[in-house]
Amino acid sequence: MAIWNLGSINADYFYRVPHLPGPGETIAATDLTRGLGGKGANMSVAAARAAAHVAHIGAVGSDGAWAVERLTEYGVDTRRIQTVDTATGHAIITLDSRGENAIVLFPGANMNISQNAVGLALTEAEQGDILLMQNETSQQAFAAETGSKMGLRIAYAAAPFSTESVGAVLPFLDILILNKIEMAQLHLATGLMPSADMGVDTVIVTLGADGCALYDRSAGWVPQHFPAVPVTAVDTTGAGDTFTGYVLAALDRGMTMPDAIRLAAKAAALMVTRYGTADVIPDLKEVLDLG
Ligand code: ATP
């Protein structure tokens, strides 16, 4: 089986600055580092590190060959990533000495993925494969509808949250994963709670250091709570992406949902003990070594 991930690929540029620039101000950065980012790329790397076959569906600009190379090195199948005539998605992250940041995000190529490219990629998917999406690319509704017709299991991480985006894919979803803030936003906008009314089989609400809640049609929507693994967190960036990638990889290997969640909680706990995103997502051996 395989995971097809229609997802964003970003370059994260971290600029160290003495203070965050004000309007009209020019300041010199003292350091620059570039990392692979974007929720889509993070989830592909997490699922690949969890030993799944992951085919990433996405786009970069002509400046993005290094990002595709990095994904390949991490074990992701990158053959369906298009090169388009727009800059690769990127985040310009200025960080001051107090740890404050200001971010400019340019979605770029992520919003120029063509319907044709998504359709072509999905012709290679097989019934029972998983199609994963987040809200950082174009073509989400088309992919969800096509994948659903083909008998794929459709999973959606509703981040960054948008009522319109989640509304467009909801009728096709099997698995919805969102954090408690996104769940509250969805409820506020639509009145929906994890229940049969949502039309999905499974909803996972992640709760940060408090673990997560699983709502499943087969369990009559009675919530099941899974605790987080206690660790000293230093950087929670990418915890949710790691969790989602691991859950889906485990399901793809035939694990039950509760076992998949327990494995993913260990991976996410390890992740929050590290600084960084895609480059530091733990591999399966490290996660299993946690016991
Ligand atoms: P992010 O946007 O920071 O990537 P998120 O908001 O999507 O994350 P969270 O609910 O913060 O997702 O975290 C996802 C999972 O990661 C949790 O369900 C939990 O298992 C694990 N996790 C998050 N924070 C911690 C923590 N401080 N200690 C242990 N595990 C954690």
- The ipTM (two decimal places) reads 0.98
Provide the residue-wise pLDDT of the chain in tens; the chain has 291 residues.
Answer: 999 999 999 999 999 999 999 999 999 999 999 999 999 999 999 999 999 999 999 999 999 999 999 999 999 999 999 999 999 999 999 999 887 889 999 999 999 999 999 999 999 999 999 999 999 999 999 999 999 999 999 999 999 999 999 999 999 999 999 999 999 999 999 999 999 999 999 999 999 999 999 999 999 999 999 999 999 999 898 999 999 999 999 999 999 999 999 999 999 999 999 988 898 999 999 999 998
What backbone phi and psi angles, to 5 degrees, belong to 274?
Answer: -120, 150
Residue 102, helix vs strand vs coil: strand
For residue 30, is it within any domain? no
For residue 160, say if its preceding peptide bond is cis, omega within 30 degrees of 0: yes
Own/partner contacts of 28-32, CB < 8 Å, gap of 24 or more, are: 29/94
- 174, 216, 241, 252: which is the annotated catalytic residue? 241
**Are 122 and 145 in contact, with CB atoms under 8 Å apart?**
no
Rg (CA), the chain: 19
pLDDT for the residue 291: 85
For residue 222, is it within any domain? yes
For residue 23, say if its preceding peptide bond is cis, omega within 30 degrees of 0: no
> What domain range includes position 188?
3-7+41-81+111-289
pLDDT for the residue 89: 98
For residue 276, is it within any domain? yes
Tokens of 11: 């370059």
Has 201 been annotated as catalytic?
A: no
pLDDT for the residue 275: 86
Other beta carbons within 10 angstroms of residue 119's beta carbon come to: 13
Query: Of 207, 236, 248, which is best to mutate to test ligand 1, by the most ligand atoms within 8 angstroms of its C-beta?
Result: 236
For residue 188, is it within any domain? yes
pLDDT for the residue 276: 85
For residue 130, is it within any domain? yes
pLDDT for the residue 99: 78
Residues with CB under 6 A from ligand 1: 159, 179, 206-209, 211-212, 228-229, 231, 233, 236-241, 243, 265, 268-269, 272
pLDDT for the residue 229: 98
For residue 219, is it within any domain? yes
Q: What is the CATH number of the domain that holds 65?
A: 3.40.1190.20
| Gap from CA of 78 to ligand 1 centroid (Å) | 27
Task: Please count the structural domains in the chain.
Answer: 1
pLDDT for the residue 20: 96
| Gap from CA of 85 to ligand 1 centroid (Å) | 35
User: 64: annotated binding-site residue?
Assistant: no
Nearest-atom index, ligand 1, CA of 264: 20
Distance CA 262, CA 35 (A): 28
User: 274: annotated binding-site residue?
Assistant: yes
Q: The pTM is what?
A: 0.96
For residue 253, is it within any domain? yes
For residue 146, is it within any domain? yes
